[in-house]
Amino acid sequence: MSVDQELVQRVQAGDKSAFDVLIMKYQQRIINVITGFVHDPVEAQDVAQEAFIKAYRAIPNFRGDSAFYTWLYRIAINTSKNHLTARARRPPAMDVDAADATNTYDAPELKEFETPESNLVSNELEQAIHQAIDELQEDTATAIKLREFEGMSYEEISEAMDCPIGTVRSRIFRAREAIEQRIQMIMGEGEQP
């Protein structure tokens, strides 16, 4: 029996501290997964907390058909998608207060010594990648995020997304093609006179 299985059984028997151990073990990985969907780090932590609450409530029904980690990933992905759907329905946030804007002088990214040109190119590439991923179909975007941002194997992604490995490979291939095309488009624009 794996450590996770033992901890799950302890939680199912009423030992709340065993769930704390599972949270400590997977918290950062789950936050990383969620950050792939929810780009705001503070929001991502809130969504992660919500995902762990859902997992805690659902753990009595966990049968162990898949690894606990995979089960938790599914919950995190679904919670992220639900959060994004709910956020899209909310009215836009208010503008930044002038008093808050003065705090940007303490921002560490303003103290870096990279050239403005290198920062611009880096930011454009990052934006292009995220935009390309955001334009993908949901399943394709999820597959590439789990592979590239989380470092999951094809087998783990197949289990987490409940689809064949061939489908995972196809989705990741299509995602990489779309990202490559977007980067070439950006780089091509930069070379024009």
In the chain, CATH 1.10.10.10 sits at 111-191
Delimit the CATH 1.10.1740.10 region(s) of the chain: 3-89
The pLDDT value given to residue 92: 60
Q: Does the pLDDT at position 192 exceed 60?
A: no
Q: How far apart are CA 47 and CA 25, in angstroms?
A: 17
Q: What single DSSP character describes residue 92? A: P
| 111-191, CATH topology level | Arc Repressor Mutant, subunit A (1.10.10)
Q: Does domain 3-89 have CATH number 2.40.10.10?
A: no
Of 46-50, 52-56, 83-87, least confident by mean pLDDT is 83-87
Its pTM surpasses 0.85: no
CB 160 within 8 A of CB 68: no
Question: Taking all residues of the chain, what is their mean pLDDT, rounded to a whole number?
Answer: 81
User: Checking phi first, is residue 66 left (phi over 0); if not, alpha (psi -120 to 50) or beta?
Assistant: beta
* Span 130-149, average pLDDT: 87
More confident residue, 178 or 91: 178
124 or 63: which leads in pLDDT: 63
Is it the case that residue 114 has pLDDT exceeding 60?
A: no
Mean local confidence (pLDDT), 90-109: 53
